[in-house]
Amino acid sequence: MATTQFTVDGKPARVDGDPQMPLLYALRGDLKMINPKFGCGLAQCGACTVHINGEAVRSCVLPVSAVQGQQITTLAGLGTPDKPHPLQTAFVQEQVPQCGYCINGWVMTAAAFLKKNPTATDAQVRDALAGLKCRCGTHVSIMRAIKRAQAQMV
């Protein structure tokens, strides 16, 4: 048993448990957050993506001990209902979600990438998003939404 303290979406958080427990389990189980999602549990689908100090990270394989003192941002902390992140707005405008399960991974990965690469080409965006999964096949709409948001962010 160990105590891990970190910040989630600007608020202090504390988790008591096995230091090897995946961060995803701490966020969903201990902190009762509804995102990120549990997808594959192997860091292959991206549904569990969060930002740690601005970097997109798959939380299903990251031990909670690795985030001691770190700043974590989830999809809920990326924007607010009054001031959503441009990607959140674009995903709604493009009507991307079907089941919506994968959206966390796409938005969080794209947000971290575009923050560092605001003028990225389509090919660079596709490369940055490689490995993310969408079983509904909304990839064309996802790319359209990312391009819309990118235009607003530049």
pLDDT 10s digits, 14-39:
999 999 999 999 999 999 999 999 99
Residues 27 and 50 occupy one common structural domain? yes
Q: What is the CATH number of the domain that holds 124?
A: 1.10.150.120
Domain count, the chain: 2
Total-model pTM = 0.96
pLDDT band at 73 (very low <50, low <70, confident <90, very high): very high
Question: Which residues, other chains included, contact 13 with Cβ-Cβ below 8 Å and sequence gap of 6+?
Answer: 5, 6, 7, 31, 72
Same structural domain, 62 and 124: no
Instruction: Please report, rounded to a whole number, the percentage of residues in the chain having pLDDT higher than 90.
Output: 97
**Do 8 and 71 lie in a common domain?**
yes
Rounded alpha-carbon distances, angstroms, from residue 42 to 62, 94, 119: 10, 29, 31
Calculate mean pLDDT across residues 147-154. Answer: 94
Q: Are residues 90 and 74 in the same domain?
A: no
Mind listing the pLDDT tens digit for each residue in 82-106?
Answer: 999 999 999 999 999 899 999 999 9
Do 92 and 45 sit in the same domain of this protein?
A: no
Helix (H, G, I), strand (E, B) or coil at 132: coil
Residue 109 confidence (pLDDT)? 98
Residue 154 pLDDT > 90:
no
Residues 50 and 98 in one domain: no
Verify that 19 and 57 share a domain, yes or no.
yes
Beta bridge partners, 2, equal 17
Domain boundary among 78, 96, 118: 78
Q: Do 99 and 69 sit in the same domain of this protein?
A: no
Q: Do 72 and 100 have their domain in common?
A: no
What is the domain range of residue 121? Answer: 86-153
Q: Give yes or no: residues 93 and 119 share one domain.
A: yes
